[in-house]
Amino acid sequence: MRRIFGLKGLLLVIFFFNCTFTYAGFDTKTASPPVQDEDRPPRSERSQPRPPRPKYRNDELLIKFKAGVPERNSKNVHGRRGGSLVREFSRLRLHHVKLKKGVSVEEALKEYRAEPEVEYAEPNFIYAPLQQPDDVMFNELWALRNTGQTGGTAGADIKATAAWDLATGSSEVVVAIIDTGIDASHPDLAASVWTGGGLDSFNQDPDPFDDHGHGTHVAGTIGARGNNGLGVAGVNWNVKLTACKFIGADGYGDTAAAVQCLEHIKGLKDAGANIVATNNSWGGVDFSQALYDAVDAQRDILFIAAAGNNGSDNDSILFYPAALDLPNVISVAATDHNDDKASFSNYGSRSVHVGAPGQDILSTLPAVNIWSLTGGYGKLSGTSMAAPHVTGLAALLKAQQPSRDWRTIRNLILAGADPVPSLAEKTLTGRRINALGALSCTDKPLLVPTQYPAEFPLSSGTYTLSAMSINCGNPSGPVTVTTSEGDTVTLQDDGVFPDLAAGDGIFSASWTVPFYIIPKPVQYLKFSSPAGVAYVPSLSITGYLPEGNLNHGYRQYLQSAGGVAPYTWTVQGTLPDGLTLNGATGELSGFPRRSGTFTFVVTATDAIGHGGSKPYSVQVSDGLVIEDRFMSYRAGTNSVPRGIAVDGAGNTYLTGALQNGAQDGLDHYLTVKYSPAGSLLWSRTYDSGINEWSQGVAVDGSGNLYVTGGEPDPTWLPSSITHLACTTVKYDAQGNELWSRSFDDGKIDSAREVAVDAVGNVYVAGYTTYEYPWRHDTLLIKYDAAGNVLWSRSYDAAEVDRVFSVALDAAGNVYMTGDKGVRGADGYYSYQYQTLKYSPAGDLLWVRNYDDYTAYAVAVGADGSVYVAGDYFAVVKYNADGAVLWNKVVPVGGVNGQELHITSLAVGKKGQLYAAGRFFDGSATIYALAKLDANGNILWTKPIPGATKPYVTIALALDSNDALYVTRPYDGGMVTSVYLEPLVVEPLAVAVKGKPYSQAMTFKGGAAPYTVSLAAGALPPGLAIDPATQVVSGTPTASGTFTFTLQLSDAAGAQNLADSVLRVYEPLEIAFTDKGTGRVDFSTGASCSGPCSLSFEPGTVVTMSATAGLDSLFTGWSGACSGTGNCTVTMDGTREVGAGFKRLTSTLTVSRPWSGSGSVQATPGLACTGNCAQVYDFGTEVTLSATPAAGSVFAGWGGA
């Protein structure tokens, strides 16, 4: 397939720390809501669309002619190729050319490169500044002197105040700022700006006025006037600042304008201006030979450049101009107020020299700036803010000692810097600048290998070996390299190729691996000089340590790269309580016993005594979800995750991009498979010859895998690119490619996700892009299992109709979600979630819109419920007919303002919804997970670690047990964690001494069946656990509180140590004596109206009172108590108490006062024929009947 030139994105978007990040290329959107959630944070009703972002001027080229080509010949070349000369840089033999209308850049490049007089031809690349705005007007300049005033770490600064005791700058020293210009009228800058040296190459005039704001902010950090009672102070109180503006108010500039700036500054230097350095806080990912030549032509000026804000490894993805391999270039990473590498900052152990403060930096701003910050000052973040700290230090060193040249100044900056753990293995020096250390440098040796083979062992080949060996400002030689086989190479600092500059402290040589009769691969190289010893490959500790959970089993192996096995492992700092490090194996294991954050440094030492260290911070929590295990993957270059799937057997599949995978400037599909145990089974890349990312992955019931993707952001493409295919690849379970299919409908087709149904039909969803400046339509393609297209569908309701996610229900209906964007008459867009439902035959069943910008995730439950989520945090639930059931905002930790921006959804077996995304906590963007029930109630949220990037999606999938598999970027690669709701046992019921007990354990979390055993402690005497049934049974013979530890495990192999308690109470037996009625009341609130049995914790003091019934009399206590008052017992054993209640009685007396005879019958009672008496219980009803004897008459009753 034809390779397409220049599809790799160049521009760095200006990131906003106080905004939610979205994937690069997605517009900001708003619209009117069909359903309004009252909890939704307010936002503006309209938003301005982001303009298309071309990577180079689409009608211009830069042409360099070979030495000796006459002017007429170059004109003839332009005449043949239809180019017209815009400007010429004669010193560089470089022409800036405008192309004839209708001629594309790609066509013109091919034609010019075919001309024999042309040395090279390249596009006129576009660059952007590298800053991130944040809150306004913070008065703490923590970067210069950090006392902890911003919540950071005291001392994490460049020691400027101490350095000012040695030098505060000089107006004789000039710094050139190549940027958006300078506001020369700013009161904190006016006295320092050299207006006579300025140039505007963007507008081609002599006034570099800053109509953007970036250049003025940079200028304030370098040289805002100090000790003048105004605003802020720069690193230099006194310095001359000159500006060359090559970036316009829109934030874009191009190579030709940058080269013109460099040539202008070189001219000023040659004319006598004391220019020590240029500051270059801008860049992109495409190499420009013209820019290289321009920087190389001014070796006597330091070129200080921002490393970039992608959070990526510049060793793998070169970022220019910071990555220009020239001795006068210093590439600068950004650090924060804790001396941590800023999360956004690029890094590179061979391509980035040093770090400097770059987050939340307060500096000068023009009155009108793109952030609408007022008051003349504002706080920005970015490597753009880090570079001017270094540039300012260069000027300060020149002011302190005017005779210092660029070599000495560069070396002092690097040697005088402070080692900080966050930059170890992340920059060449592993250091953050220290102004005092540079200005007062004494005996600070530094030896750092700078060029060496990328991979070991070595069997053959010729390589350039280089090392920086300095002591403060001076070279420190000689430098020798000894191979693992004992051969030696001497490096030279003589300016003879491959050494680039004599006397600069960088020593170089060309080396060919010796031929050995018996093959002996070179395992390592040892660099030695008076400045020290260093090995390559360097011994580094790699890998990710997951969080721990209280009492949950933890077992991880630390990993090393480089060095010679075997290794020994040591730790400094505080490991989590309950964990130990095995010094021989690097195993970190145990059961965490205390929650908290534990920080420590691990050191590995190899067999030849070479060591490497890495700081770790492990969180131990006692939460509702735990990180059980993880899988990590890192290729030779950055690998970016985009999708994840888990099959029924528990195999895990990841897909994404291998950035610059073939060193061709392009990205390619990357697919990785892990076993259920987390072992890497295989990885595959797919290269169709264009820049493309795999965006989605799905697996069928046979273990076949489907990945799909395409151009990651079509809006980056030049207008000359009008169609690109999206490609879907099918692999078998072993990773063999079964087929690949490219879909091309004449537009730019971008696939975003893939789903597969029960019979192997494949559904690919995404969108098409056409009609520059771009329109979008949805795209849905159905393939059969053999890769034949069954049908495709598109939907066009507005200027923007895009799809980012797809899901299927049990019936094979297709649900897609994304956004709809409508341009208003004022040019502004309104955006909505847009969800579409198709039948398996491709019939559109319904479309639903919801006001919440862009949706990135859709999932379908077993009951047909449809969940959609994305920008501005809302989750929306529809029924199968598209009716809205509810919507929900998900604030992480319940904190308003920390709402989760959701990029991935999954529905569990019980209808619970799992979400993954990112949120902004006020200072950084953090990944997080959430769980909701089917009614939208938030069950938990959980922040998780990872290298958050605005253009990288965190993705999740569920396995058959509803374990969460979550993938996100980490340390230039991908880390996938498995999260579980922890396996715990519910509390056991109380037992009573001497009473039979049987209690089945109840488990939460994990997957049945469970196993349990006693790990520590003891059950109460008389009780035991049945491992098969998990029933605790028996008759306890002792009371008390019995603590013990249970070893729990489930069907998935999850293990946990659960501390459990079983309390055995003492019985209190209450007997009622006599035959009366009454009630016994207890001080605990209980009561008995008859014999009863209660139980209490041993030692409990129980007081009882007795209340007789109306027909009874309390006669007193017996057993453990006596008397008739309250009864008090201490439950230090079994207690028996009797309560006597005696019924009250009355006597019925029958008398016969006359002489007659007869009988009286009492019922109940006896018959009386004379006088008699009968005792009855109080309240008994007695009926009397009189029967006269013969000869007598009953005369009646008397008395009662």
Catalytic residues: 179, 214, 384
| Strand ranges (E), 404-524 | 418-419, 431-432, 445-451, 462-471, 474-475, 479-483, 488-491, 506-512
Number of neighbours of residue 532 by Cβ within 10 angstroms: 14
- What is the three-class DSSP state of 408? helix
DSSP single-letter state for residue 1199: -
Residue type, 552: H
- Residues 917/921/925/929 CA torsion (nearest 10 deg): -20
Give the C-alpha distances (Å, rounded to integers) separating 569 from 295, 541, 845. Answer: 45, 10, 62
98 in Cβ contact with 59 (< 8 Å): yes
> What's phi and psi for 575, nearest 5 deg?
-75, 155
Q: How far is CA 360 from the centre of its chain?
A: 20
DSSP per position, 289-306: HHHHHHHHTTTTSEEEEE
> What's phi and psi for 873, nearest 5 deg?
75, -10
User: Based on C-alpha coordinates, what's the Rg of the chain?
Assistant: 41
Strands 329-335, 302-306: pairing kind: parallel
Look at the alpha carbons of 647, 650, 651, 654 in this order and tell me if their dihedral is positive or negative: positive
The angle that helices 383-400 and 406-415 make with each other, rounded to 10 degrees, is 120
Distance CA 101, CA 114 (A): 20
Whether the bond between 712 and the residue before it is cis, its omega within 30 degrees of 0, is no
Distance CA 191, CA 206 (A): 19
- Residues 543/547/550/554 CA torsion (nearest 10 deg): -20
- Residues 858/861/863/867 CA torsion (nearest 10 deg): -30
DSSP single-letter state for residue 421: G
Number of C-alpha atoms within 13 angstroms, CB side, residue 112?
32
DSSP per position, 470-493: EETTEE---EEEEETTS-EEEEB-
Q: Name the helix (H) or strand (E) containing 329.
A: strand 329-335
> What's phi and psi for 1051, nearest 5 deg?
-65, -25
Q: 272, exposed or middle or buried, with CB in 10 Å at 0-12, 13-18, 19+?
A: exposed
Distance CA 837, CA 844 (A): 6
Q: Name the helix (H) or strand (E) containing 1069.
A: strand 1055-1073
1148 in Cβ contact with 1183 (< 8 Å): no
- What is the three-class DSSP state of 1060? strand
Distance CA 1012, CA 373 (A): 62
Whether the bond between 449 and the residue before it is cis, its omega within 30 degrees of 0, is no
Distance CA 762, CA 350 (A): 44
Give the C-alpha distances (Å, rounded to integers) separating 36 from 495, 717, 850. Answer: 69, 37, 9
User: Structure tokens of 83?
Assistant: 């180019």
Give which of 863, 1023, 1006 is closest to 934, Cα–Cα.
Answer: 863
Distance CA 484, CA 522 (A): 6
Give which of 1151, 1198, 1188, 1187 is closest to 1170, Cα–Cα.
Answer: 1151
Give the C-alpha distances (Å, rounded to integers) separating 1113 from 564, 1076, 1126, 1142. Answer: 94, 7, 15, 5
